[in-house]
Amino acid sequence: MKVWQCVVCGFIYDETQGLPEEGIKPGTKWADIPENWACPDCGVAKADFEMIEV
């Protein structure tokens, strides 16, 4: 499980926790999130995220 961070606003996506409030179940891998998904805090596209250390 990895942790990803939005390069724009610092929002963190933790694969272990998912984003249940957005319908993304805990344990959902980054690769399995739809391409049209956007950062809930600042709206940047998935392609603009960057991985940070676990």
Partner 1 sequence: MKPIVVLGSGLAGYSVIRELRKLDRDIPVTLVTRDSGDFYSKPMLSNAYAQGKDAAGLVLTRAAEMAAQLGITLLAETEVHAIDRTNKKLATSAGELAYDRLVIALGADPIRIPVQGDAADAVMSVNDIADYAQLRKSVQGVGHITIMGGGLIGCEFANDWATTGYKVSVIDPGPYPLASLMPEQAGKQLLAPLAAIGVDWHFGTSVSRVDRRENGYTLTLADGTQLQTGLVISAVGLRPRIALAQAAGLEVNRGIKVDAYLRSSDPAIFALGDCAEIDGKVQPFVLPIMHAARALAKTLSGCETPVVFPAMPVVVKTPAHPVAVLPVARDAVGNWQLRANSDGVKMAFLDAEQCMTGFVLTGRYAAERNEMSKQLGHPLPAVAESPLPGAKE
In the complex, minimum distance from the CB of residue 32 to partner 1, in angstroms, rounded to a whole number: 19
By three-state DSSP, how is residue 48 classified?
Answer: helix
Q: Is 50 in the site for partner 1 (CB under 8 A)?
A: yes
In the complex, minimum distance from the CB of residue 4 to partner 1, in angstroms, rounded to a whole number: 12
For residues 3 to 42, the per-residue mask of contacts with partner 1, x marking binding by CB under 8 A and - elsewhere, is --xxxxxx----------xx-----------------xxx
Biggest distance spanned by C-alpha atoms of the chain? 24
Q: Is 54 in the site for partner 1 (CB under 8 A)?
A: no
Alpha carbons 42 and 27: distance in angstroms, whole number: 23
